[in-house]
Amino acid sequence: MTREAVAPTMRSALAARLGAGGWSALPPLGLLAVVWIVFQIANPSFLSSANLVNLAMQSAATGLIALGVVFVLIVGQIDLSVGAVASLAGAIVGILFVGSGWPALAAVVVALVVAAGIGALYGLVVIRFRAPGFVVTLAGLLAVLGAQSWVLRGSGSIGLPVDSWLVTFAQQGYLPDAVAFALAGGGGLAWIAARIVTRARRRNAGLPHGRLWTILLGGGMLLAALLGAVWYLGLGRGVGAVFVVLLGAVILADIVLRRTRWGRSLHAVGGGEEAARRVGIRTGGVMISAFIVCSVLAAVGGILGTARLAAAVQGGATDDVYLTAIAAAVIGGTSLFGGRGSAWSALLGIVIITSLGSGFTLLALDSSTRLLITGAVLLAAVIVDSLARTRARRR
Amino acid sequence: MTAAEERTPRAPVLELRGITRNFGAVRALIDVDLTVHAGEIVALVGDNGAGKSTLVGVLSGLLPADGGEIRMDGAPVSVASPRRARTLGIAAVYQELALCDTMDLVDNLWLGQEPTRGGVIDEIEMERRTAELLRGLGVRIPPTRTTVAELSGGQRQIVAIARSLVADPRVLVLDEPTAALSATQSVEVLNLVERVRERGVAVVLVSHHIGDVLSIADRVAVLRLGRNAGEFRAAETTSEAIIAAIMGGGPSAAEPPQRAPTPLRRVEGSR
């Protein structure tokens, strides 16, 4: 037995996050910093507010897909078909909204329901036949691509009316300055308030608690960063509405994953399925729910992407932007081995990948360079993830 | 404990009568009886394939019995799932795969039964009660936010046992808690099991370490080829007698199971 620490003590949240080791939050943040600095040196317009506004807008659709991928990765599965599901959702919205003249909202709901059904089917097959999700969703990828082509049969592509609210929202939706500042300021202050309340409760419970000034310092920096970002983006066109959707989804998913029983059960199923089963967690249901969330978020991302393009195109899923969703989740720090991952990794990963794309475009390099570099970064992330897992298992 | 208390026959917390469990054509448990009282450690011993693990499965709800009756406090109950077992107050700790490696100690302790506050998990309450529980058990363990993958085998076993106590169970089933441990680690774990008994929990201890069994158990029940094969009061028996019952044959195997009231005496060091 260890001789250290008789009474259980608590490490700070940051230390715990660092202690988790491997490709967690810090390496991706460092990578992002390096990417930004290098591109800024190569081309001074990289960090211009105009380019950052674009970057945020470009990140949203694929970021939402990557967020869904985080859920399946946490339960130790993978969904290769997210790109196909995203395209199918876009095609369904196109055909119902434009082809059949449905209200946009109804078309969106149908697309989401279809996606949920696809996710449920994956989950059922995986748990019923103990089939590897990797192959089940590969089969799904092919079938869903087929379905998407069938939906768009004849036309090949469907243009969405550029004056519809869906397209306007996705292409030109920016938060008014006042709203953006209010959200950033309110968000920062809410974070500080929550930390102060938590600290007081910890102190009353006799638990180790941080110092007030570190909360105020950290919170002040967060607040300044948020307000500064809003101000800087405001020099361009402002904060894109679709990016706010992504940010909101990430924050919500983070709370759900960390602070709800369902979120914990996702981690438990991925980190020790047998352990989870034995404490009474319905592991099959948890697995199915992860696939459903993934497919639905893929559909949301696909619909936003389609709206931004103002067109649903046949075979849209072969677009590498969609395929990078899985890479984004891993580069952002979610483990491929299950049990370890965070909603923020989707945001971080997609911003890194989108930055690479944007940077190489500014440098007038073609997509081959971008794909090569993205591939190398993904490979590095996977190697670090694998090493971290080996280290964690040795005891 | 007064002598009168010791002699008063109390209703056992847990009573198994004629438990049967088959796996296809294989009869893993045949007509097995087992009785456990509060504040008592009953050891369950037997050779490989004697049905010990199956019986643990029956108790924990993982492998519901095909036949027979389970009573708690004299009332028949159905232990159809792990969830049901937990509701009834039966906790089980397994030899392997008991913990989620990617989670920290506190999260593992509360997995599946996290306290919530306004819909979200109350981590502060979790940590407070963890500290309280570990202090109460005299457990020395590294910081509570350590990932369990970083713990030693003995520490993992202690965490697993502590976890089972979170829900204040009436019955604790331990499946080979010391099988993979060094001598020092085994002592730590066995000490913990004794402290659990002191809390009034009825403990079923599955083990093939006869030495461990005799040092902490009050009674020893032997299984052989899926059937009861004798029951001994730990204070009044020898490892030879138990081994004979495990191997089959010998006079002790024919002994009818005792229905003695709980011996509340400590039987430390009697081997």
Our CA-based measurement puts residue A280 at a distance from the nearest CA of chain B, in whole angstroms, of 5
A53-89 tens-digit pLDDT: 999 999 999 999 999 999 999 999 999 999 999 999 9
- Tell which residue, A21, A26, A16, has the closest CA to residue A208: A16
Mean pLDDT of A176-183: 94
- Judging contacts by C-beta atoms under 8 Å, the chain B residues touching residue A277 are 82
Report, as an integer, the average pLDDT of B163-182. 88
Nearest CA in chain A to B152: A395
Inter-chain contacts counted by CB atoms under 8 A, chains A and B? 143
Q: How confident is the model at residue A24 (pLDDT cuts 50, 70, 90)?
A: low
- How far B114 CA lies from chain A's nearest CA (Å)? 7
Q: What is the 3-state secondary structure (H, E, C) of B185-228?
A: HHHHHHHHHHHHHHCCCEEEEECCCHHHHHHHCCEEEEEECCEE
- The alpha-carbon gap from B129 to the nearest alpha carbon of chain A, in Å, equals 9
Query: What percent of chain A has a predicted confidence (pLDDT) above 90?
Result: 69
pLDDT of amino acid A214: 92
Touching check for B131 and chain A: CB below 8 Å? yes
Percent of chain A with pLDDT over 70: 90
Residue B2 contacts A, CB cutoff 8 Å: no
Provide, as residue numbers in chain A, all residues whose Cβ is less than 8 Å from the Cβ of B154.
1
Chain B positions in Cβ-Cβ contact with residue A393 (cut-off 8 Å): 101, 149
- Binding-face residues of A in 25-84 toward B, CB within 8 A: none
> Given an 8 Å threshold on Cβ–Cβ distance, is A272 in contact with B62?
no
Mean pLDDT of A92-117: 94
Indicate the Cα dihedral angle B68, B72, B76, B79, nearest 10°: -60
Of the partner residues B120, B144, B154, the one whose CB lies closest to the CB of residue A1? B154
B75 pLDDT more than 60: yes
Inspect the interface and report whether the beta carbons of B82 and A278 lie closer than 8 Å.
Answer: yes
Find the helix or strand (DSSP H, E) in which A95 lies. none
Q: Do A272 and B101 touch (CB under 8 A)?
A: yes
pLDDT at A319 over 70: no
Substitution target from B104, B110, B111, B147 for chain A, most A beta carbons within 10 A: B111
When pLDDT is averaged across residues B50-58 and rounded to a whole number, the result is: 90
Cα A356 from Cα B177, distance rounded (Å): 52
* Closest alpha carbon to A244 in A194, A314, A303, A169: A169
| CA distance, residue A7 to nearest chain B CA (Å) | 7
- Do A207 and B127 count as a contact with CB atoms less than 8 A apart? yes
| Among B62, B30, B70, B61, CA closest to B46 | B30
Q: Identify the DSSP state of A87.
A: H
Which residues of A are less than 8 Å from B162 in CB distance?
A: none
Mean pLDDT value across chain B: 82
Measure CB to CB from residue A267 to each of B103, B105, B128 and give the nearest one: B103
For residue B269, pLDDT over 60 is answered with no
Report d(CA A51, CA A233) in Å as an integer: 9
* Amino acid letter, residue A16: A
- pLDDT at residue B271 is higher than 60: no
Contact B73, B127 (CB under 8 A): no
Cβ-defined contact of A395 to B151 (cutoff 8 Å): yes
B131: nearest CB among A8, A16, A255: A8
Query: B5-44: per-residue pLDDT in tens?
Result: 444 456 789 999 999 999 988 888 999 999 999 999 999 9
Could you tell me if A336 lies within 8 Å of chain B, comparing CB atoms? no
Q: Determine the average pLDDT of the residues in A352-370.
A: 87
- Partners of B100 on chain A (C-beta within 8 Å) are 267-268, 271-272, 275-276, 339
β-strands B41-45, B227-233 pairing: unpaired
Environment class of residue B251 by beta-carbon count within 10 Å: exposed (0-12), middle (13-18) or buried (19+)? exposed
- For residue A88, what pLDDT is reported? 94
Mean pLDDT of B172-199: 88
- A21-30, A151-160, A246-255, A340-349, range with the lowest pLDDT: A21-30
Determine the pLDDT at residue B2.
Answer: 43
Q: Could you tell me the CA-to-CA distances from B223 to B2, B131, B153, B178, B207 in Å, in that order?
A: 32, 38, 27, 19, 11
Nearest CA in chain A to B155: A1
Q: What integer pLDDT is reported at residue A25 of this predicted model?
A: 67
pLDDT recorded at residue A138: 93
Contact with chain B for residue A9, Cβ under 8 A: yes
Percent of chain B scoring above 70 in pLDDT: 86
Query: Which residues in chain B have Cβ-Cβ distances shorter than 8 Å to A200?
Result: none
Across the range B128-156, mean pLDDT stands at 81
Closest residue in chain B to residue A21, using alpha carbons only: B147
- The residue with greater pLDDT, B250 or A383, is A383
> Contact B141/A2, CB-based, under 8 Å?
yes
pLDDT at A315: 66
Strand-pair category, B227-233 with B219-224: antiparallel
Contact assignment for A271 to B103 by CB distance below 8 Å: yes
Say if B119 is an interface residue toward chain A (CB within 8 Å).
yes
Residues 6+ apart with CB under 8 A from A97: A103, A104, A107, A160, A164, A166
- Which pLDDT band holds residue B256 (cuts at 50, 70, 90)? very low
For the cut 80, the answer to whether the pLDDT of residue B77 exceeds it is: yes
Mean pLDDT across chain A, nearest whole number? 88
What confidence tier does B247 reach under pLDDT thresholds 50, 70, 90? Answer: confident
pLDDT tens column, A233-254: 999 999 999 999 999 999 999 9
Which of A205, A264, A280 minimises the CB distance to B107?
A264
Residue whose tokens read 């940051």: A14
In degrees, rounded to 5, the angle at the alpha carbon of residue B149 between the alpha carbons of residues B207 and A9 is 105
B22 in Cβ contact with B198 (< 8 Å): no
- The shortest C-alpha distance from A130 to chain B (Å) reads 19
Beta strand spans in chain A (E):
157-159, 311-313
- Contact assignment for B150 to A1 by CB distance below 8 Å: no
Q: What ipTM was estimated for this complex? A: 0.80
* pLDDT given at position A14: 41
Q: Are A1 and B111 a contacting pair at CB < 8 A?
A: no
Find the closest chain B residue to A280 by CA distance: B83
Which chain B residues are closer than 8 Å to A14 by Cβ? none
Q: What is the pLDDT of residue A23?
A: 55
Band (A16; pLDDT cuts 50, 70, 90):
very low
Map residue B115 onto helix, strand or coil. coil
Is beta strand B41-45 parallel, antiparallel or unpaired with respect to B219-224? parallel
How far apart CA A75 and CA A262 sit, in angstroms, is: 11
pLDDT, tens digit (0-9, with 9 covering 90-100), for A264-296: 999 999 998 888 988 888 999 999 999 999 999
Confidence of residue B213 (pLDDT cuts 50, 70, 90): confident
Q: What is the pLDDT of residue A84?
A: 93
pLDDT tens by residue, B88-135: 999 988 876 578 888 888 999 898 889 998 889 999 999 888 888 888
Residue B6, H or E segment = helix B3-7
Please state, in angstroms and rounded to a whole number, the distance separating the CA atoms of residues B37 and B263.
9
